[in-house]
A and B are shown apart, each in its own frame.
Chain A
């Protein structure tokens, strides 16, 4: 109801020159819950390294939605995460991570 009244007031206001707009817009505080993401990396060689190093900054779906990419491309992506985005990746895990990503099965599920 309140939203309806508000919208009605605003529709009226848009026909008036901007500097003369009379109806003040009202804002309401917002508090929400954001999902964390519970999708997991499929088992495989290096899966633990990926899970332990990659999920601090983003959920798994971003990775699992990627097309087939070469090992060199994945290596450059992991390097970008570490160097540009300061991802806390254990250097000892890098080759396991890249190996897992480059051998991910890509295609229709």
Chain B
């Protein structure tokens, strides 16, 4: 029942060879060993202690939330380094533990079937050379990002704010693939599935569906590259659906099967899982019942200070410019405002380079502590549809779509 494959046998072998080969190899090993550390996430009530792991293939240092199936969080410092999250520190989230450890480029096929004129079995070469390439910067964010901060606490992956990332995705339009198969009249949805499999054979396979109109909007794409490199296996190699502006649950990894449906999808993951209260910001009072539930969909705007951590001491009178990231969710960043007095007054931050509607956008704002004492720094994003971050944290029982104007509490000395 336990997947008792020999753990990391190949890697151990390589390490031994490395160590035997040279003192340089040994130095690398000891450096890596010293770099192993942990992080204490400030989750209310705990537990917040998490290892920093380098044990996952094609991944650098990551916050270990769960080993199998992997839940790996991006360390917060990465978000201060630029708007594109490096592939080797891009967060990882899998539902089922049966993840193929090997994908062969020559034999991989993407099938398109169901309510179509012509079922397809596409090779990677077909996609790379047979259809127009598109490039799009977009934030991929877990529905449950920041769940660990939800109060009262709720069960689920206890993420801090690092279950998100931004990449330049390259691939083909889902529309172009569907057009090649020829969608029949009467089709209503497109169901997407990857190579991962449920552990128990009778458990629901992980699949997600989009409406036909959404699937054909020309923005939803099948990515074969992120940040100009092939995807790490744990981020969905060789193909991943990209659904700009929507939560990551729809961004099916290792995408291998596209099924056009002429009836609404009733599978567990589309119909029953990942539902939210049908209220503004999916917000309800803790314990509130009798709320209509709908599938999660569009992301809301968020913003963060990235260059200063809570608890930092800053000298009075010395300029300490603030820097951070923002994203609009389902539309562009329209404005980022900053408060250095706990929300009493707000000033517009300066926005950095526009990498596209769905991308992280960096912002900067001047700040000089004026008097000794605690200072509450706050940042607020407004998106192109006029949605603005709420002053009080949202809550729902699944810890989805957590949103609030974030604050960083420093001390001026």
Contacts and interface: CB of A to CB of B under 8 A. Distances in A.
Nearest to B159: A65
A59 B228 contact: no
Contact of B66 (A25, A59, A106): A59
Contacts of A10: 170, 225, 228
A5 B8 CA distance: 31
Contact of A36 (B3, B106, B168, B198): B3
Interface in B1-41: 1-5, 7-11, 40
Interface in B53-100: 55-58, 64-71, 96-97, 99
Interface string A74-95: 0001000000111110000000
B101 A33 contact: yes
Interface in B179-224: 198-200, 202-204, 224
Interface string A40-75: 000000000000000111110110111111000100
A32 B170 contact: no
A24 B129 contact: yes
The size class of the interface chain B forms with chain A is 35 or more
Most buried by B among A33, A55, A108: A33
Contacts of B198: 85-86
Contacts of A68: 45, 153
Nearest to B134: A18
B238 interface: yes
A67 B128 contact: no
B268 to A, nearest CB: 6
Given A33-B11, A33-B101, A68-B45, A61 B200 contact: no
Contact of A25 (B56, B64, B99, B225): B225
Interface in B125-176: 128-129, 132-135, 148, 153, 155, 157-158, 168, 170
B46 interface: yes
Nearest to A57: B199
Nearest to A68: B45
Interface stretch (B229-237, B299-307, B333-341): B229-237
The dominant DSSP class at the A interface is loop
B341 to A, nearest CB: 32
Nearest to B98: A57
A32 B157 contact: no
B71 A62 contact: yes
Given A25-B128, A29-B105, A34-B56, A56 B67 contact: no
A36 B7 contact: yes
Given A36-B3, A84-B268, A86-B203, A29 B9 contact: no
Interface of A: 3, 6-7, 10-11, 13-14, 18-19, 21, 24-39, 55-59, 61-62, 64-69, 73, 77, 84-88, 106-109
23 contacts: A10-B170, A14-B168, A14-B228, A18-B135, A25-B128, A25-B170, A29-B102, A31-B101, A32-B101, A33-B9, A35-B8, A35-B68, A36-B3, A55-B2, A56-B200, A58-B97, A62-B66, A65-B50, A68-B153, A73-B155, A86-B202, A87-B200, A108-B47
Interface of B: 1-5, 7-11, 40, 43, 45-50, 55-58, 64-71, 96-97, 99, 101-106, 124, 128-129, 132-135, 148, 153, 155, 157-158, 168, 170, 198-200, 202-204, 224-225, 228-230, 233, 237-238, 268, 272-273
